Structure 1
Amino acid sequence: MTALDGAIDLHSHSTASDGQYPAEQVAERAAAAGVAVWALTDHDSVAQLRAGRAAAEAHGLRFVPGIELSVHLDKREVHLLGHFVDPESAELRGFEDLLAEKRRVRMGEMIHKLAALGVALTPEEIEKFSGGKTLARPHVARAMVERGIVGSVKEAFDRFLGEGRPAFVGRHRMPVEDAIALVRGAGGAATIAHPGLNRIERGDLERMKAWGLSGVETYHADHVPSQREKYLKICAELDLVPTAGSDFHGPEVAPGRKLGMVSMSEAELERLEARRG
């Protein structure tokens, strides 16, 4: 690998899941932000990885194909990132189709709950914000913003769509050990996303390492310095790779998260790639 001149950002989203921009525009923005290595990690979807790779090559970026999976650790939701996955993996494609159908059913349940609250949205109003098969709560929130029901995506979650709010509907999630096996079976390396946001502790990471976890997203856009220090220490103790991700969705969805705002070392990237399944 030649020396890199730019940031390494291993966490971003396109319209294949809940991002604001298609993969081509995310790649363009990554290049403009000084990113050298860029991963596209859509929720439960590999639909735009082919387009992402082509766009990355056009902008001189090294592309890391990825995915983000919503999974269960005991009774908690956590998010698992897969990096260097094979976009043509039959297992990933099959899982994507299964999740897309379950998300569509879930969206119908949310529409029904919102209607009971006096908020009438149609599937078409929501689906126009999705560039792929995956429908997610931010698509509902953006439809609510467009209608003037709320002023922001955050307000939609705070009032209606967040866990415990009146229009919340839980989603299908697989056990984290099964998700790690899925990622590794697709040739990827599994990393736990934003552990500070999900209150992941050392014991949790020990268990997940035994199941094949390769790394921890230590340098996340929302982690404060003390959280980064905490997970760096755990990574050193457990021989896990500390990774970096802006978790970019676009300013309408997640304002404040900018591509390339966090980074990791080239040596850490090489260690992560060496741990592919």
Structure 2
Amino acid sequence: AQGMIAKLRALGIHIEWQRVQEIAGSSSMGRPHIAQAMLEKGYIASIKEAFTKYISRDGPAYVDREKMTPVEAVELILKANGLPVLAHPLTVSDPEIMVSQLKAAGLVGIEAYYGGYTADERNRLINLAERYSLIASGGSDYHGLDASTD
């Protein structure tokens, strides 16, 4: 968000970082909060106008979100005294390589129990967890072997 605010300033639109933080509150700060700050200052007539003219993906003040790598995510979770668990490991092209890299960074578990997995997939993931001395966890939406994911 700070990058967008800097670009907006270069365009003559002066909104304050602190105000954008206040608007966002405890939610993840993003473009809607920047648009609200622009609206409050009278730079635009509507939130939609902020997106159309300035902060859409092809707008002059747009800045891509910073993305962290999976290793950086594991490190951040550990720094916050959390327990990093790889969710949806079957969505990556090679779960074995991903788990190996993340284990070296401090991964403690992988999601092996998920209602959408077949028994075969679940067993593969449990075995993968065992090979790397990881916890085989269930996702927050897992309700047991006989439950649907709905």
TM-score when normalising by structure 1:
0.32
Larger CA Rg, structure 1 vs 2: 2
TM-score when normalising by structure 2:
0.50
